[in-house]
Structure 1
Amino acid sequence: MSDQPKGKKKKKRLNGRMIFWTAFFTIAVAVICGIIGYLFITVNGEKLLDANRDKLVVNGPTQVFDRSGKLMGELSVETSDPVESQDIPKLLKMAFVATEDKRFYEHSGVDFWSIGRAAVKDVVARSMVEGGSTITQQLAKNIFLTRDKTFFRKATEMSIAMALERQLSKDEILTMYLNRINFGGTTYGIKAASEKYFGISDLNKLEIWQMATLAAMPKGPSAYNPLRHPEASTARRAVVLDLMYEQGLITAEQRDQAKTVVYDYQPPAQQQKYPAFIDYVMDEAEDVMPDLTEDDLVRGGYKIYTTMDAQAQKAVEKAFADDDLFEKSVDDQPVQAAMMIMNHENGSILALLGGRDYERKGFSRINSRRQPGSAFKPIVAYAPALESGKFTMDSELSNEKQCFSDYCPTNLHGYSKTIGMTEAITKSENIPAVWLLNQIGVKTGISYAEKMGIKLDKNDNNLAIALGGLTQGTTVKEMAAAYSVFGNEGRYNDPYSIKQVVNQEGTVVYQHGNPEQKKVLSSDTAYYMTKMMQDVISDGTGKNAKLGDRPLAGKTGTTQSGISGSSRNRDAWFVGYTPEWTAAVWMGYDKPDKNHLLKGSSGEAAKLFSTVMKEALEGVPIKDFEAPDNLTQSTPEPSESAPQGITDLSGSYDNSTGTVKLSWSPAAEQADGGEYRIYRKASEEQDFSLLMSVLTTDAEDLSVVPGTTYQYYVTYYDKNSDQESEASNKVEVDVPKEELPASEEPSPDESAPDESGWPGQPSDGEFTPPPVQSGEPGQTDNGGNEEQGEDQGQAEPPATNTPGRGGGRGNPSFEPGQGSGQDNGLSGQGTGMPVNPDQGTATGTATGSVSDPPGNP
């Protein structure tokens, strides 16, 4: 009797015959489908090739519009007449073969071995890291009708490639490829590229380094454009030269020599409107739409709606074309500049220019990294200090000569026991900024800088950053975005230039939308920073940036040369904002050296800022910076334990002694070790500073100057509780002018210091002693103007990784040796954090303001 349950059939077991026939029919069907697919691809490839052989596919020009919807310009394809094979040097052809498809002469249009190798690498990397397209496939892609990124597109591309291989010789394919591929922007074809990037129409005159530069571009026509990205182009050129050497096309000597050539070609002027803004827009389009290449965008017939304000952009371009706004260079390397204006309420970029005489697809300095100098103080020190709640704009900060561990910055304007925060920013003193950062902690300062859009290096973990001494520096774009936080009630917006992109069919393929703003600072902090930086414009280093009656706040920044014996400057900054707009300006040389340094300082950048913004804001109603609702008082309430203040301070001038005498009643609660602190402000000064401390209830000011009015107040300080009382009543004392006999009156040219400064010093507006040798205490920035007067710190990197002296970090490209961190006007010497031996010095002062008329973003 069987044990198998009733009702269930016995399973049939597979035998060898069934397996054989199943496999046979499966393979047969697959082969038949493969043959049908191959025949379809072959016929389809031949058909598409015949239909598109003699044309470069373009869907009409891509159009770019400003923020009001007005057409800014069109991106049309730039080509030259096709070049015959015999007119293209063999070495130039082989440079492309070596770089793009070294098995070009071995495959039949599709290199299945390369595709397999690429697939294996993609699997190992778990992402697409390597492609397998041959030169023939790249040519097929350039003559295909659509720009979609699908499997069928790739399959059809392969079919066209195989059709090309059947109909044309290898040399004909390579020649067609070189005549059709994109070489950045709207430039297509090898001859057009040679003319654009080198000014050479005869390809036989190209040198090896030039051939390698062109052969480097197909991998990334935008990224390796030598005009826009010379460093990236040079690096990629070196890779191509290595490949050419490995494949026996050039000698090692030819390779090494070609690697050393510096690209410095300047193309002739073109007449396209707003080229700098359009270039920036195209770069941003590639970033926000990664599925589209620059080639796709140019040939796709898109409509790109931008944030550009035509009036502001024209103002920038007009000012940059005015040679009178720039220093004269000793040769043909001009002083350069970059500027960006943005609406801080939403982050929209209104105008920008990355250099003088900017050309389409040229080198833009908008994102070039430079040392910011004192323009960095509000970002990393002052704003975070206010935000901490431990300090206010009325706080007294340490201003004594001192070291912070091994870091010893110095002041140019001298020292005092304390200085008010507003005065410290206005004069751009060094010690208070470093002391403040030390109080709140370097990590806190770094955190706020990063929240405000500054990209810092991992080595920027030291007090030198208080004076703008950064390892890699920062950019015009980053500085404008950071200062926009102050003008936008503490909120940060990522800068953007594209509102919307529409394809040829009218479908919106990209929309910026309204991303949520990041709250970085409190509204109170932003408002008090604005109040203090308005004083920088009215009474400090930023006077050149004034916009008439329009409110403006900002900061200057200057970085010293870092060259021993030179007091000239490497970089000059002004960053500022109005109630509407924020803008940043940088000035300097592209390749600074001992013969290419700025004679002036941040005042020149402030002047350029003013020239642009006055015209950009013309017709925009003037409005004030508004205080936030429920604004907290800047002066904190005294604690319950604070000693009671003085209420009966009196003072008078004693003609017999030429001094001011002060007296007051004793404090109500005197303690052992208590003292009275006397604060003074002269008529020309912005804020009070500590004059002296005494134990008695009277004092005498021996340092008054005839013809000056002084104000005084007194506090009582209890050392035991470390508490200081409120300020007493203020008294004002006029010190009369001295009357000299007529015979003793000085002549007009002797009555005051020569405002032109000491011999060799440009007009400075501030009388400072002549500079001493670089590296000595008390060095001044001798290349100033009427805005000069900021602190500068010096850094002298050691040859080894030991603490170096200095107030700032220099540019990594500096030669080994002395460096300085300078804030225009003040010089400082100190011990810096460990730095790269190549780093030099940085000095900086920054003041600025900007405004942006209301309107659509």
Structure 2
Amino acid sequence: MDNNKLSRAGSKNKEQPSKTPKKKKKKLSGKRIFWTLFFTCAIAVFCAIAGYLYISVNGERLYQANKDKITVNETSKVYDRNGDLMGELSLQKSDPVKSEDIPKLLKDAFIATEDKRFYEHSGVDLWSIGRAAVKDVMARSKVEGGSTITQQLAKNIFLTRDKTFFRKATEVSIALALDRNLTKDEIITMYLNRIPFGGQIYGIKEASKYYFGKSDLNDLKVWEIATLAAMPKGPSKYNPLRNPELSMQRRGVVLSLMADQGYITADEAAKAKAVVYNYEPPKKKQNYQNFMDYVMNEAEDVTGLSEDDLNIGGYKIYTTMDANAQKVLEKEFADASNFEKSKDDQPVQGSMVIMNQENGSLVALLGGRDYERKGYSRVTNSRRQPGSAFKPIVSYAPALETGNFDMNSQLSNKKQCFGKYCPGNLHGYSDTIGMSEAITKSENIPAVWTLNEIGVKTGFNFANKLGIQLTEDDKNLAMALGGISKGTNTLEMAQAYSAFANGGKFNKAFSIKKIDGSDGKPVYTHKDKSEKVMEESTAYQMTEMMKKVVESGTGTKARIDRPVAGKTGTTQSGISGLKSNRDVWFVGYTPELTAAVWMGYDNPDKTHLLHNSSPLAAAFWGKVMKQALENFPAKEFKVPDNVKQPEPPPVEETTEHVSGLIASYSPDTQTVSLSWNGSDSGNATYRVYRKESSEADFSLLLNDVSSTSAEDMGAVAGLTYQYYVTAVSKDTGTESDPSNTVTIQVEGPPEEQLPPDENTGDNGQDGNTDQGQDGNTGNNPGNGDQGNGSDNGNGNNGNNNGNNNGNGNGNGNGNGNGQQGGDQGSGPGAGTGNGNTDNGTIVPPDNGSGGSTDTGSTGDGTKKPDNIGSGPFEDGTNP
């Protein structure tokens, strides 16, 4: 071997240090283990004894100090947006009920539901606490509580409402003290007399009186007992008035528990589960009640406090409510004349939400004409199909957002099907129609066509961004016309439209600005959070188009003395042969506020449908908003900077023209006959438009008329009508300018003439005056000197004069307000005749083959129903 290598190897071996010998581990002796365990146990026992003594002494002290109290805090108070007191959350409770006056089954129901080991533990059930902890760990969230009935009672007589470990420990200490000082029967009796049952209702007797009208608890039936026993788990959530479906579901759980534990039979449980709650508590008028209830629900959500905590915690809750707007809303909801009259005791209901679009603050809301404390609020609990009011949300705004459309874009308006879905129009068809005109007239084909062009998913996602709750089942073209499975409500619709009013920024609605505790320290403060959901130019164009809806379209009844943009909506009955509506809507906004109105029956059926359409809701919207805006400085809609105005489409020249329109009326057939000179090309069909004198605008009467004559068999005697005709090119679908307008007064049946008198000139035939169209003049020759008879009507040009020519002096004056004036003059000098007044003449509807029901209008004393189709949506079809 190389000597160098050996040298290096030897050197390397010399450099390695010697290994240190391992130390021997000390063995734990039995003596050491004994003393370690001894001192550990001793310390644990000492801590346990000390803790137990502390809990016992503290619990005993608190029990003795508070056994006759529910709270030492003052009642919580609620304030409006100006800081003025709205009301106090005062408790509503009866005198305590003695144990012998509480049925055993009632006690058993609460024990079965809340604490089935009630008679076995000593106030705290360690087994239940352990079981709940295991379930919470497995679910990684709190899914089950371990509080006993005794602990719940302890919580209700405790002094503070803070959420801390020490509060829970003290709750346990009071529960142990309660169990030491009271019998089990005394505990369950005290518990039933003190627990909350929703709103400010406290105690079993007050709950029985409020929810069932029964002061004697022995009168409660099994299903009523179970309904009350279902409430402690969630007094608001399982309130039978406010949430009848959830209450019924929870009642079923309670009845199953009672049957499983042998308190009732399975047959009794099944029968009690099937009962539907329909009790209505006596009405107690309290201002702002619906708004206050909404506030309390929101307070529970944002603070994590229970309703009971909020009731008795001495909190000061500052809200966004405008007192004037809320009072106006409550006043108009109480006025029956604002609602269609029902045939029976089921009234037409309504809901309205008003909010400030700039920050999402709720200004006023009301969820029913008969709203009671913690009652059923249609603002949030009722969901109905929105009809055409959904078109801007799901079709037109998302189309503008793609950048491929603008407010003047031409949309398809041909009669067509989309697969198996075949919607229809009300005002006929053409090759194309501008987007603005399509919204103004509320045509259906363009809305469906547009959604089909941009894709259902695009419209679906856009509606979700605006806060509308949709499901996967809604991903179809019927969505364009408001055909959504779950429906929506006035809160969601107001939120959605507020983004149009707010330049494309969406704010979630809220009602609480801040909450201060009883010590004056802030508990919660709202923070504004806007989200951009569309381009400013999209919101601007939607506003411009929806302004025309109110100016000259389906929403004219919503016009007030401020700028208004909005959209009507109607859903039809869907019942074959019934031309009536389920729901009517108007959702609109001014530069200051956004509001949504819904009207309809809670349970629509063949006998409970609306005969009016969306103008009813639009009129209500205008009536309320005109007053509600009194305290809001007037503004104008903002025109965004750098928004390029869309170029209007080129006007197509047309050779079609209609002239020479004439009209006549036949009393025998009660028909108005129309004829006109046809178009020059001869390649056109015709549309006939009609306007009764009380109506603001013309509406389509007949479509696709192939000849140059037509008949109106729906004219009513005593009314005055105007007509014009247009030609529609078969090649281009372009509609011509209107023909000349003709006015015709439909005469009533001839009246019996009085025989002439030697001193009386024959009576002049009175002209009919219906809402003031130009008067007709009639001449009636008689024997005698010239006499005059006149009718004075109300309206635009309301004086109709009839002249009698004869030999004799006689003046006959007839005042007609409605169908026709009186015909009588007597004596040589003067005489008077009184006319009949006709208020509320019904003009039969024109039945189209489906189509939007957004064109009706109501005049003074005359009502013209809308044109309606046969399906549940506004297209007159089933999807």
Give distance in 2, aligned partners of 1:493 and 1:763: 45
Deviation at 1:324, TM superposition (A): 1.0
In the superposition, the TM-score normalised over structure 2's length comes to 0.78
CA distance in 2, matches of 1:143, 1:35: 26
* Residue aligning to 1:115: 129
Q: Distance in 2 between matches of 1:822 and 1:462?
A: 13
348, 359, 363: which one aligns with 2:361: 348
| Residue equivalent to 2:596 | 584
- What secondary structure, in the 3-state scheme, does the structure 2 residue paired with 1:446 have? helix
Aligned equivalents of 1:46, 1:493: Cα separation in 2: 51
Aligned to 1:296: 309
Residue in structure 2 matching 1:658, options 677, 700, 717:
677
In the other structure, the counterpart of 1:571 is 583
Task: Name 2:166's counterpart in structure 1.
Answer: 152
Give the 3-state SS of the residue equivalent to 1:338 in structure 2: strand
Of the two, which has the highest radius of gyration? 2
| Structure 1 residues 145 and 341, CA gap change in structure 2 (3 angstroms) | same
- Call closer, same or farther: CA 1:710–1:332 in 2, change over 3 Å: closer
**What do the CA deviations read for 1:687-722 (whole angstroms, capped 9, x no partner)?**
9x9xx9xxxxxxx997999998899999x99xxxxx
Deviation at 1:353, TM superposition (A): 0.5
Residue type matched to 1:161 in 2? A
- Aligned Cα RMSD in Å? 3.9
Check 1:387–1:702 CA distance in 2 against 1; reply closer, same or farther (3 A cut): farther
Which residue does the alignment assign to 1:821? 872
Q: Which runs of 5+ in 2 are unaligned?
A: 1-16, 662-675, 712-720, 746-766, 775-817, 820-839
For the Cα contact (< 8 Å) 2:441–2:549, is it kept in 1? yes
**1:630 deviation in Å?**
1.6
Distance in 1 between the 2:738 and 2:857 partners?
Answer: 33
- Give the aligned partner of residue 646 of structure 2: 634
The alignment status of 1:98 with 2:112, answered yes or no, reads: yes
Matching residue of 1:593: 605
Select the residue among 313, 329, 344 that pairs with 2:326. Answer: 313
- Pick closer, same or farther for the CA change 1:508–1:681 going to 2, 3 Å: farther
Structure 2 counterpart of 1:464: 478
Does the 8 Å CA contact 1:183/1:218 hold for their aligned counterparts? yes
Q: Contact 1:122–1:128 (CA<8 Å) still a contact in 2?
A: yes
Matched to 1:611, the amino acid is K
Name structure 1 gaps, 5 residues minimum: 638-644, 664-675, 693-699, 718-723, 741-746, 757-761, 772-776, 795-819, 833-857
- Contact 2:442 2:852 (8 Å CA) reproduced: no
CA contact (8 A) 1:569 1:783 kept: no
Paired residues of 1:599 and 1:784 also in contact (CA < 8 A): no
Q: Closer, same or farther in 2 for the Cα pair 1:654/1:182, shift >3 Å?
A: closer
Displacement after TM superposition at 1:514 (Å): 2.1
Could you say which residue in structure 2 is the equivalent of 1:668? Answer: none
Letter matched to residue 588 of structure 1: G
Q: Counterparts of 1:210 and 1:707 in 2: how far apart (Å)?
A: 62
Question: What aligned pairs does 1:338-417 form with structure 2 within 5 A after superposition?
Answer: 338-367=351-380, 368-417=382-431
> In the alignment, residue 306 of structure 1 is paired with which amino acid?
T
User: What displacement does 1:208 show?
Assistant: 1.0
Q: Which moved more, 1:407-416 or 1:139-148?
A: 407-416
- The alignment status of 1:50 with 2:98, answered yes or no, reads no
- Give how far 1:779 is off: 8.1
CA shift digits 1:321-353 (9 cap, x unpaired): 001111222222211111100001110000000
Cα distance change of structure 1 residues 653 and 591 upon mapping to structure 2, 3 Å threshold: closer
Higher relative contact order (CA 8 A, sep 6+): 1
Which whole-Å deviations, capped at 9, do the CAs of 1:650-699 have from their partners, x for residues lacking one? 89878799345599xxxxxxxxxxxx999999999999x9xx9xxxxxxx
Amino acid at match of 2:318: Y
Supply the distance in 1 between the matched residues of 2:855 and 2:677 (Cα, whole angstroms): 37
Q: Quick one: which amino acid aligns to residue 425 of structure 2?
A: N
Distance in 1 separating the partners of 2:618 and 2:99? 55
Where 1:618 maps in the other structure, the secondary structure is helix
Local SS of the residue matching 2:630: coil
1:245 and 2:259 matched: yes
Per-residue deviation at 1:472? 0.6
SS in 2 for 1:471: coil
Q: Distance in 1 between matches of 2:226 and 2:388?
A: 42
Q: Distance in 1 between matches of 2:324 and 2:739?
A: 50
Does the 8 Å CA contact 1:409/1:793 hold for their aligned counterparts? no
Structure 1 residues 709 and 413: CA distance shift in structure 2, 3 A: closer
Gap change, CA 1:682 and 1:531, over 3 Å in 2: farther
Classify the secondary structure of the residue corresponding to 2:472.
coil
Change (3 A) 1:655 1:574: closer
Q: 2-side partners of 1:159 and 1:412: how far apart?
A: 72
After superposition, give the CA deviation of every residue in 1:356-411 in whole Å (9 maximum; x if it has no partner): 12111111110121111111011100111122222222222111111111111112
Distance 1:636 1:185 in 2: 57
Aligned partners of 2:483 and 2:873 also within 8 Å:
no
Deviation at 1:636, TM superposition (A): 7.4
TM-score when normalising by structure 1:
0.79
Q: Map 1:608-627 to 2 at 5 A.
A: 608-618=620-630, 620-627=632-639
Tell me which residue corresponds to 2:149.
135
Cα distance change on mapping 1:646 and 1:181 into 2, 3 Å? closer
Deviations 1:554-574 (A, max 9, x none): 111111122333222111111
- Tell me, what secondary structure is at the counterpart of 1:387? helix
Report what 1:231 is aligned to: 245
Q: 1:180–1:435: structure 2 CA closer, same or farther, 3 Å change rule?
A: same
Any conservation in 1 of the 2:657–2:727 contact (CA below 8 Å)? no
Partner of 1:533: 546
Q: Within 5 A, what are the aligned runs for 1:744-755? A: none
The 5 Å alignment of 1:429-828 reads 429-515=443-529, 517-547=530-560, 549-618=561-630, 620-635=632-647, 658-659=677-678, 661=680, 735=740, 768-770=845-847, 777-778=849-850, 785-786=857-858, 820-823=871-874, 827-828=875-876
